[in-house]
Structure 1
């Protein structure tokens, strides 16, 4: 790997991120929260300064056309780590410890939505605006944003684009990767504007509409209300957020093709989208029935809360319209199952991804057929396209490493916290970028009371889960660590 290329790329990312760090200052001035200006000016200055230093160290090179795959993986991994650190600097000014500030920042940029906050009344609106904005930036992908807006990455951005969203298939809606990034961000931006308008019309305060929209479209879950969406007691807003969560968990490239072609068949012919909608529909119906017969909720409330919570968990948003930690065990089991699914590939959602589950089911079916017919040649097809053996192998390796990481993390956290529920559910919630779990880390709970080692493990889980394990798998090989000037 070439040090100058890595240094220059990271320098550009940090400089651009530093400019974004100035944006909460506008909110601070508008809300007359002048004491909240210094934290963001300081963080922005630090980020830009480090970015310029890295660019100077790399010789201010503008040639990124020869970025290799290993360099792309390394740049993306470091970019997420460094932006997480830079994004946490403002939190230090509001009384958070360095570890808690890093946890809250990484939880935001990775769109996890797990919070260490215990008393929301201690913080100004600017603080909550930044929390939600970090999620919105991380939802589509920080690198995808900079590939779209920075001309230096117009060609070389392909390797970084793929490294940031290493799904089973490469999503390309236009011939040039920079144009693809712009197209995806255009869909993302339009949906964001539409939701802000819809929530405002539903009676939600404009500031809250902005913050909740940022978190919804990012499938993040941070809300300025300590009781999440339940705190607004607004059924119309709940339905609106449900609809946009479904869109946030859907493939944005698929949505772009639907908008361009204006044919519903674009969606209906996509196997992943059909399975995604089927899971939401079936799980929501079962959950609604359980709630109706086991709680004092009306049928309409059971349907609304069932659909909302299933959508919230499967898309890894993590919002709550009710404290589901108080639900009976069968209802919680359904939500935990949704944690293990995730959204569609190419969406803002985290988790395993529906397309991987789909390929795995087809792989199992193929193996069953081959047991009966050993000489049969059985191909796995997805949307009528054959899935290569390499992709099949990568998906199986992904699941194996995901399972190993979940097991190791759950065991360590259980030993540290002396609580198996926190170990298992906390691991699933952080590695899947979901956010809340059950018990004391439930939707009305906090991760703030956990031990420091547990928080560090969960920070790693959030980063690994957001990058979908591939960059970290590559880093386990000794040949990855070869540098040259």
Structure 2
């Protein structure tokens, strides 16, 4: 275990987080809010801890997958702890468990909240909550790779693989640092485009910034108690479109950027993703038609909620908890499916669902025709056993974590739908669930134990489970 490199990178995480808190402090200054001192104290503490760790670059830069997983997991834990300090220092969220829940929910782009009334928060705190979505959407270590010319031992790719969502991560261009820059460039460009369109819809600047952060990171923290429900149909439509866009694999945008539209259109995962959205929207529209004055309004709300749930954003325009059983069941299924690999969305991912389905049909085919040899293909390529093994292992870990988490949350004595969907909403990084954790409610009703379990679920879901689990194995910390 290369501890010196791990601490060196974590030191840079401290420093970068201090820099990322500065815009929130600026918002506090612009609005003359007293909470500015809370950000100043948190920034000072981050620098105090980070600067000593990066003063000397380690001589040994050998960095394997194990170190990559440990570094990513510890970085996200440290980042969440420090990110919770402004809430605690200002007294906005005095409980450290609640502050951690809110911050982890922000960085993991979950959007689940313990706050009962977000509109009473200072503007700087609203900005920081939403900005954590934007930071966590692409990943702070991917951002770190953009800034620092770190090379040696191939560890840059191990960091990117451990932090990026999806079954596999590949370099878009030969150098990892160039890949990280390109990803962030596309991320910023899409964010600026959405921000511009929201401003054209007469949305106030702060509202537009926070909404863009939540959409880009597929997070869902709103600055209104009604989430997006108070805004115009135009703004709701823009948010719907960009939620869906940010749920697409960024490789598609890279191919479009490289002027290869035919290859981009052949992306099989994106095709399935859009088909699921279209089918779900049409079915839900049929079932909720009588709840709205006209078909167009019903379609708009159905499309918004489908886009919000499958991309794991968590915004809402209406309380879908009161919809009929079939639309609610579809939304719960979409919670598990999630967005595309290589996007900012959470969930199991469309690619994994497709691979699992094809694996199942191949097994059934081999039962019927024992001597049949059929290679499993995806995106026009044969899928190797290593990828299938990884997908199967992910699903086993996912089911075990889901089951154990649900048992712990059930200790609070709430109904099964509340307990089940609270775990589904956090492990899949969605935000709202059903019943007591529906879009018109929050997670404040849970005990500290349940909140800690749900914090673990949010981190596990964002980091694709294994980087976090690696921390709990004794062999991880042995020196070989």
After superposition, the C-alpha distances for 1:145-185 in whole angstroms (9 at most, x for unaligned) are 11112223686321111111253222321011111111110
How far apart, CA to CA, are the structure 2 residues paired with 1:225 and 1:280? 26
Name the counterpart of 2:41. Answer: 42
What is the distance in 2 between the residues matched to 1:249 and 1:184?
14
- The separation in 1 between residues aligned to 2:360 and 2:74, in whole angstroms, is 36
1:302 match: 298
Q: Deviations over 1:107-158 (max 9, x none)?
A: 0000000011112233111110000111100001111111112223686321
Gaps of 5+ in 1: none
Which residue of structure 1 lines up, in the alignment, with residue 286 of structure 2? 289
**How is 1:185-204 mapped onto 2 (pairs within 5 angstroms)?**
185-204=184-203
Higher mean C-alpha displacement, 96-105 vs 467-476:
467-476
CA distance in 1, matches of 2:7, 2:164: 21
Q: Which residue of 2 aligns with 1:431?
A: 427
Counterpart in 1 of 2:370? 374
* 1:120 aligns to 2:118 (yes or no): yes
Contact 2:165/2:346 (<8 A) preserved = no
1:388-427 residue pairs with structure 2 within 5 A? 388-427=384-423
> How big is the shift at 1:368?
1.3
Q: Distance in 1 between matches of 2:374 and 2:474?
A: 36
For 1:309-388, what aligned pairs fall within 5 Å after superposition?
Answer: 309-388=305-384
**Contact conserved, 2:4 with 2:58, CA < 8 A, in 1?**
no
1:268, distance to aligned residue in structure 2 (A): 2.4
Displacement of 1:297 in angstroms is 3.5
Identify which range, 65-74 or 208-217, moves more after superposition: 65-74
Q: Is the 8 A contact 1:146 1:153 kept in 2?
A: no
Query: Does residue 1:246 correspond to 2:244, yes or no?
Result: yes
Structure 2: distance between partners of 1:122 and 1:383: 48
Deviation at 1:415, TM superposition (A): 2.1
Aligned-partner SS, 2:35: helix
Displacement, 1:64? 6.7
Do residues 463 (structure 1) and 463 (structure 2) align? no
CA distance in 2, matches of 1:417, 1:462: 21
User: How far has the Cα of 1:94 moved from its partner?
Assistant: 3.2
Distance of 2:138 and 2:373 partners within structure 1: 39
Q: TM (normalized to structure 2)?
A: 0.96
**Of 247, 258, 261, which aligns to 1:260?**
258
Secondary structure of 1:343's aligned partner: coil
Q: Partner residue of 1:150?
A: 148
- Distance in 1, matches of 2:327 and 2:378, equals 32
Question: In structure 2, how many angstroms separate the alpha carbons of the residues matched to 1:144 and 1:417?
Answer: 41
CA distance in 2, matches of 1:170, 1:216: 23
Tell me the CA shift for residue 18 of structure 1: 1.3
Q: Secondary structure at the match of 1:118?
A: coil
Given the superposition, is the C-alpha separation of residues 229 and 390 from structure 1 closer, same or farther in structure 2, using an over 3 Å criterion?
Answer: same
- Aligned CA distance change for structure 1 residues 444 and 63 (closer, same or farther; 3 Å): farther
Counterpart position of 2:4: 4
Give RMSD over aligned pairs: 1.5
Contact 1:111 1:218 in 2 (8 A): yes
The residue number in structure 2 matching 1:219 is 218
Equivalent residue pairs, number: 477
Q: Is the 8 A contact 2:160 2:169 kept in 1?
A: no
Aligned to 1:276: 273
Q: Secondary structure at the match of 1:152?
A: coil
Deviates more, 1:385-394 or 1:307-316: 385-394
Query: 5+ unaligned residues in a row in structure 2: which ranges?
Result: none
The alpha-carbon distance between structure 1 residues 26 and 166, as it changes in their structure 2 partners (threshold 3 A), is closer
* SS of the residue 2:202 aligns to: coil
Say if 2:165 and 2:462, in contact at 8 Å, map to a contact too.
no
**d(CA) in 2 for partners of 1:145, 1:277:** 28
The residue number in structure 2 matching 1:130 is 128
Counterparts of 1:64 and 1:137, CA distance in 2: 29
What does residue 161 of structure 1 align with? 160
- State the distance in 1 between where 2:472 and 2:129 align: 32
Of the structure 1 ranges 423-432 and 320-329, higher mean CA displacement relative to structure 2 is found in: 320-329
